[in-house]
Every structure is written in structure tokens, then in C-alpha cells.
Structure 1
Amino acid sequence: MKEEKTMKKKYQILCNVNSILISVILILFLSELLGFTSLCLAQSKSWTTKTRMLTGRFWLSCEVVDGKIYTIGGATRDGAPTLATVEEYDPISDTWTSKQDMPTRRRSMASAVVEGKIYTIGGDPNFRIGVTTGVRTLEVYDPNTDTWTQKTDMPTAREAASASAVNGIIYVMGGVAPGGVFLRNVEAYDPATDTWSTKAPMLFARHALSTAVVNGNIYAMGGGRGEKYVEEYDPATDSWTTKASMLVGNGYFGTGVVNGFIYTMGGGSSPGSPYSRVFAYNPSANKWSEKTAMPTARFGLGAGVVNGKIYAIGGAPGWPPSPLATNEEYNPAITSVENKAINNPASFVLYQNYPNPFNPETRIGYEISKPIRVVLRVMNLLGQEVCTLVNEDKPVGFYEVIWDGKNHHGQRVASGVYLYRLESKDFVQTRKMILLQ
């Protein structure tokens, strides 16, 4: 009898423990469910899908005049003519209207607004993968009259530069010159006199960067080779200062300024791996934080700010690029669920090489999330090693290497499909690339 009571007591204790465990599991499940619901609600509140652009495109220019957003030029696919298309978006009515075409069709232009007129500068009239044919063209669009005017050409031919205006002067920064030379050049244009002048160059040469103005200073951020650089330019002293780097390498992204914060959206460390991620930079504190991601990952998009909201328009979802007409509205006033600083990559990543196909060389980017020895090899389709690009211990971070199409003897290899593989103790990933001779 005594033994039976003892067994019954143990059974009751076990039942109580089981009940407690079930309750804890249920609470955790509900917490996760509510947390997930909160995340979804926050994302849906932060981002809203709007009416699509009339013409899908990437590498377009995007500027705002009198509460209307103007999307200009761009590209649609490799080998196809670039665009001269101009479209006006009214955020209040959520409608698009076609406007007068730009005289010179172009993509990857720099652009800026002075006294209600849009200045489109440089760019490339062609899109052929691996070929750069930047121009010096400067054309001005007046939304009030829906007309274009030719102005004095920029001194340096370039594409994928960025421009910002301060006190009526437009500053064009960086880019890539014909032949693939990356630039530090800064040239200033005065619309009042239709003249150009040379300014102090950036500290780092780069293209596909983005610039933004806060308190009269220009911030030049990122670059198309996965650069994280942030530099502050003071037009009053014609001088540059290095600032806190971006949290991830980024190029071809959209930018908007709201309440003194610079927001970057989309882009990528290589075009083959576009981001949906959104980051905010506080120039006063010199700090970056991550915000709620865009619904659509893309690079080569445009962005415009109207009434404190940022509109992310167009772009491409991957490489080779295909055009998007996507239009998504971001409201920074809604608190982001993910408002955290990120100092290190979250995982190991091997990015798609760029350009691809390529000739004579290509860039391969990768990220590692902890200090470790990594090996990056190029192989043929039989798995035979062609060359080793990296074989060393690396600290946490983003890296990029160039393969020049040669084997370990320094000899050019034949055209065709090749594999490249990143290996470490904890990670292996392989991708394909195409060499054209």
C-alpha cells in the first residue's frame, strides 16, 4: 500500500511536470507566433506596393520636383537600345504619366535638381555586358514646360557616377570612364553660368556609388565592386573626410533622405546577388542601422522622397539583368522591427562573379562570418584545378578577387564554362562562370 502511494505520488509529480512543460512550450509557440505576426505587420506597414511604372527598366535616374517623381532613361537588357523614356509619378493619385523623351537615350546617368529643373549628366547610350562607353552629355528637363535643353558637356566622359546639388551647384562624383577606368574625379557645374570646374577628388575611386546631402555636406557611399566606403564632402572647404563604413558592401542602390537620415535600399555587393536590405545612416552620430527590408530584392533602382516617404522604383532582380517596373513606398516613420547595428556578416556567402560572361577578367566576391582559412579555386567542368585565387587565413568581412582568365602557369585558358569554389572548414559553395575570348 505504501509502495502504491509512493508510485501514485511520483506519477502526479510527472503529470505536473508534463503540464508545466506543455504550458511553457505553448507559451513559447504563441510568443513566436505573435512575434512573427508583429514582424509581418511591421513590414506591411513600413512598405506598401504602389502602381507600377509604365516602362520596366534598371539603371534609371529618379528625381523629385514639386511633389512629383520623374523616372528618366535606363536599360532593359543586354544589347538592346537604352531608353530615353521619361515618366512622371504622382504619389497622391498613385498614377503615372508619359512625358517628353530625353534627347539622348542613356542609362547609368548622374542627375540632380536645381531650381525645379532636372539635370541629367553623363551615362552610357549603350548596354553591352563588359563594355563601357560613357559620355559627357548634359541635358536639362523642365517639368513645367515638358521640354529639354542641351547644356555644356561635362569635362570627363563617364557612366555610373553620382551627383548632388548644394547651394545651386551640382557636384558629379566618381564613375567609370570608357575603357573601364574607375574614377575619383569630382567636377562641379554652375547652372547660372553653364560652366564646369574641377574640385578635390574623392579619396577612393569607385563607380555605382550613391550620394546624398545632409546639412550642406555631400555623403558619397558604396560602390559597384562591393565597396563600403563613406566619405563626407564639404563644398565650402572643398575637402573630404572618411566616415563610418557601410555595414555591407553595396553598389547600384537607391538613396533617400528623411529627417536628416540617409536611407539606402537594395543594390548589392555584386549584381548577381541583389539585396532587399535597407539601412539608415545618421550623419550626426556617424552610425548605421538596419531597417525593415524591401519586399522586392533588386539593384539598379531609382528612389525619390515625397512627404517623408521614399519610393523605390524599377531595378533588376539578378544577373544578367531583366527590367522591373516595381514601385514600393517606404515609410521610415514606422518603427522597424529590425533596428540593429550589424558589424559582421551573418554567414558565409560566395557571390556570383561580375561581369558574367566576361573578357578579359571578372570579379568574385565572398563574405566570411568568422576568422578562418579559406580557399578559392577555379576549376574546369571536369573538376580539374585551373588556378587557386585565395589560400590563406582571413578575418571576418567581405572580400573581392579578380580572375584574369589565366591558369596557375600564367597562360590564358580557352573560352567556356568554368567553376569557382569557396572552401573552409565549415563551408563549401560552387558557382559557374563563362569566359569569352
Structure 2
Amino acid sequence: MNTADVKTEMVGKSDGKRHPQPKVCLVRSLLYGVAFVHLWLGPAFAQTNESSAGEASIAPFIPAAAVLYGPIANNTGRPNNCYPIEEAAKFSLLDLSPYLVGRTTRWCGTPDRALDAIRALNPNSIILVYHFGPGQIKWTGFPAPAGGDSIYQALRATHGLDKPDPWFEQGHHSGDYLVDMYYPVNMAMKLSHPDWRRFWREKTWEGFWGPNPLMDVRGTDGILVDGSQAHAAYSHYPLCPLSQWTGSSCTGPRDTAATYWTPGRWNDALWGQHMLQAVSEIVPFFKARGLEAMFNVWRLQPNYLDLLNQVGGWAMEECGFICAVIQRRFPPNPRHWEERLNMLRSARRAKIMNTNVLVDALGPAGPGKGIEILDTLISDPTTGRTWRGWDVLWFAMTSFLLGYEPRLQNAYFHFTAWGYRDCYWLDEYDPRYLHLGLPRDTARKLASGAWEREFERGWVWVNPTHNDITITVPQDSARILNHYNFKNPDSVPAITQFVLRAWTGVVGLRAGMTMAGIEKPGKTPPGLTLYPNEPNPFHHTTTIRFFIPQPEHVILKVFDAFGREIATLADEQKQAGEHSVVFDAQNLPAGLYFVQMRTRNNATGRSMMVVK
């Protein structure tokens, strides 16, 4: 069988069985099994959202993200075990299992298409779909596919270990195929093989966004590529030879990938080299199709961020300021905390979803409760200090505000104490309650070890140390706000000095100031906009209109479905305002094409259909 004839396929639902998962965050391997099995943002959206009624809203001070995988809201304390569409629409960024884009009872009210229902309430919501990266392939489902060749079986027939050009990883000791014991539905693939990486890119796009998608997520803004860390991949993921895998356990010794095993040790650098190569190919491939690519990097490293800044890629830093899934307790390591802050402050073209996972620090409280789980008391066994979940939220949130640059829109804040089955919109995210305006400078580290950042209406202070620290307000006085008083700042006295507890963060509202920093009285002019071409579909010619809010050098290009450049429609300086150009497809075959518009700091794209 020729690989060009291999078809991607879907597997329906999970059997609900629990499989061994050493890390809570890795439970997603079970959750996304209920969704799309083998499938695999263009523009930066304006921060100010419009409500469904057309009323202007306040730009977010904290652009919040939600990650929702698998059977969301199931046994998490939600009424009717479903997730409200209205709540999802409040988030600036959503990362969803692919099946959640469509119709499912996991959404309250079961809308015909969840994507459309969310967008009706928040047109600027950025929605990404989850898929595992090219380091692995889905080889079985829950239950296993019945009848016919799966993509795994088809690729084994053409590129198996016994073929001249294998795409599968081989066990160093066993010589066998390798099953990932953390993600037992996945099998290790040769990330080093350029043809496999190309196949992954094309089939991922085709299966999700192509002319005849196997799972229709068209209208979403891009993809979240899981398993994309550039360090400690197969060395930390226990792999089992396929012949020793029972479906739930490994009966023989664990193995490792031959490509990355040098005598006596794991070659971390080589894995990282191949992963960064894959990222450098994936981002432009999807951008050419008007889509963004975000990578779950676990912990972002400088060389990875350098690449993302170059190509405009996005990162999910799953182990953010709070990474209780590793330490299983709070507080975090001070060095780790400062490294995360430095990554956030260094993001320019890149965007980071700063994910903060508290789940494993909550002990017997577990993720089965609702928002009241944040009332749980968390103890540090070393010092005896205690914090509540709300205190941890504020520590993570204020840490985020030290590095977030609203003018660049370089990050999103994600906090979960419920795993990835649930995520609550918190009042802290509502700019009517919490908004200090734009930052006046970058964050600075004080001699005491605390960090401070000034905004138009006040300050943010964070204490990432094991000691309580006395903070002096730099100018005049401020009302010191935390979870317990931020909605009633007038009830808080203005002071000039206070004690900031170890591993906590607060907001200081400047005396005489009020919240709700950026409120727009009416509809704002559009930002960089590429309008749908008219007509579409079209036979010979179509008109492409676009708007730029300021004079810019604009590049407008057309690509075919394989990413090949077809035409350059503009490559010149344009005045601010609306422009149009006619695209002539008379000599092109019928099919799907993409128009991409780029300026110095932004890119966006749309699809066009040529019919004959």
C-alpha cells in the first residue's frame, strides 16, 4: 500500500477503563481517547471583546485560558455533569478535545455545534484542538478499531520495522515496536524521519480542516500539539515492547528508543534537536493555512523559546509557576519559579499558555469537588506553613502579571485544581473587579527577594521566597487586595507598608484609584482584518478585501492545499484603511486554496474554494 493512500480514521468513545497513570496531568491520555483518535491561530485577536448583545466590554487584565479534555464536567461537582457554554465563552483561549467542538451532551443544553455557540457569545474567543505530536502514533482505541486497516496498521504495512524505510521507533534491547506506558494507546514513532513528520503534518490538517475532514473542527484557530517537550522524552516515558504489552501492563523489561540511546545513556540533545526541527516545520505549515500551532513543552527552555519567537509559534508550559503534579506539594522550587518568569518575560512573537496545576497538592480533596476545592488548606511539611487554594491561585496569577505584556498579548493564564476535566471562570478574571490598566515598566526584583511591577492604577507584588517580607509602597499609599477583599476595595484602608507572606502575591490599588481600567464606550475600529473573499466558492475570479489600522508593509500570498505558493497578490507598503485585490484562478485546478496576509508583527489567513 502506498502511503499516499493511507486514510486517517476515527474511533468513537472510550470504554471508561482506568489505566495506570503515574502523573495526574497525564490522565489526558485516557480522556482524549473518547474523542478523535488518529487525527491529528493565524491572527492575534484584539483583547477587547464584544458581548453577544453588541455592548462593549472591558479588555481583560488577565487573559484566562481553559483546557478541557475528554468527559468534561463529569463528576466534578457541576450540576447535571455538563459544562456551561456561557462559562466557556468567557475565556480568551480554549484548548479542547476535538469532539467537544461539535455536538455532545458534555455541554449543557447540547448545542448543535459548541464552537458556533461559543463564538456567538464571544466572537474573539481563540479555540485550539488537542492532538498528539509526531513523536507517537495512535495504535489502538478504547475499544480497538473493529475491522479494516487503521492508519497504524497501514503504516506498518508500508513503513514497519521489517520494511526498508521504517517510520516506527525500535526498542534498543528488544528490537520491537514500543508502546508508551503513560499513554498506552500510543506507539513511539521516528521523530527523526522527515517523511514521517511531513505525513503527520499533512494528515493532521487534512483530517481536521481539509475539504472532507474526518472530524470537522473547521472554524477553530489551530492545534495544541501534545508530547512536544524538547528534553527527557522517552527517557522519562516508560516504553514496553509490543510483544510484552497485555493491554494494561508490561510483562517483560521496559525498553528505550534505539535512535536516542548511546552506550549507557539517553541522548537528550538528539531528541531535542529532532523535536525543534519538527516544530520549525509545523508552525509555518499551519500558518500558511491560517492556523496557529501551540506545543505542550512541559517546561520551556531558552532554545525552544528562541525558535518560537522566530517562527511565531505558541507554547503550553504545562509546568508553570505552580507544578504540583511533579512536587505534589506547594510551594514550588524558587529557582524553577524564576526560570518560568524569565521565559514569560522573553516571549515576543511567541505566545505562552502559562498552565498552573494544583491538583496533586490537594491530597484527599481530589479533583471531584467543585470550586469549593480552593478552600482546601495546603501545608508545607518542611516549614509547617499553610495556604488555601485561593492563596495559591493569587500567587500564580500575580506571578503571571509580572511577565505578561498586554501590548504584545504574549501569554494566557491557566489555573486548574480539577485536572483537565474542568476549569472554572473565576471572578478574579473579570476586569470589572480586577484591572490596574497597562504596565508602566517591567517587573523588578527587590533587595528582599520579592518582585514588584507598577501599573497605571497600582502595583503587583509577589514573594517567591520562604520568608515573610515587609513591602513599602513606592509612592503614596495603596489598598492591598487578595481573594478575600478584591471585590470590595473601598472597604480596605490605604496603607504605606505591609508584610507579604512567603509564597503569596497581592495587588495594590493606588489610593484614590478605582478598578475597571480600560473601558471603551463604543465599538472600536477593527484591527488587522482579512475579510472572507467574495464570491466563495468561485469559478474564475474572486475579490479579497483587507483592513489595516495603520500604514504597513503588506504581503498577500495564495497557497494550495499542500502549502505550495501559488501567487503573490501584494508585497508593498499600504496606507491605513481598507484595500482590495482580485485573484484570478482561471488557470488553476479546482480545490481548496489559502490566502495569507502578513505584516511586520501579525499574520492571518482564510480558505478559498475554486470550482470548475
More strand by share: 1
When normalised by structure 2's length, the TM-score is 0.21
Structure-1-length-normalised TM-score = 0.27
Higher relative contact order (CA 8 A, sep 6+): 2
Name the structure with the higher helix share: 2
